[in-house]
Structure 1
Amino acid sequence: METKIYTLDATGAKPGRLATQIAHILLGKNTPDTTRNLVANVQVVVENASKLDITEKRGTEIFQTYSGYQGGQKSETWAHLAARRGISEVLTRIVGGMLPKNKLRTPRLKNLIIKD
């Protein structure tokens, strides 16, 4: 079976609304033969990610990570993360938060290609 490629344009789109569309496609919910235990044979390409409509308030939201060790909690704002790693990392983390927390999350995120 061939890989189906979906292309989304991020120009002027809100990050959360775009991320829900991406997560819906990555989970395979837009096809009638959806299986929850397999990675859908799709690839999502997001173009013009740098033109996302990120408001000033959203730039102050915080991503948190925790290593499990004492003092291992790290916090970073969207704006700082975008400056450090690029807007593609911000969108990837938003989409990753919308996917199920299981072994298929990483393979599904590998089917997401973000172009600035």
Structure 2
Amino acid sequence: MNEKNELHNRNLHISGLLNEEKVDIENKKVDIQDEKVNIENILSEKSSDFSIKTTVHIHRLFDRFGFDEVFGRSAVMELIEMKSSGASKLIYNLVQADIIEPVSGYGKGKYKFKK
């Protein structure tokens, strides 16, 4: 993931302050997030033969925007670091593959992932 996190012992210490309060988990139900969406299943359902590079771009877009956020060409350009023509072509291919859909009410050229 190209993260450059320094893992020094001095930063990884956990103080004893966390042990002061006991938590009763037997009587409480833990609210766990809904099942994570597997974008691979969505891509395979759409039966599109995307290259590995395009699939990585789709994953990055989905991780950033998900099903609920609306995005446009400029957001794709910034996130994937590509030029406008490449971003437009990617968006066009995703619309043709029925993976994203145009959204009205946000201005021209806005899209979101289809559920």
Fold conserved (TM > 0.5)? no
Query: Greater strand share, 1 or 2?
Result: 1
Determine which structure has greater relative contact order: mean sequence separation of CA pairs < 8 Å that are 6+ residues apart, divided by chain length. Answer: 1
Query: Which one has the largest radius of gyration?
Result: 2
TM-score, normalising length: structure 1:
0.29
Structure with higher helix content: 2
TM-score (norm 2): 0.30
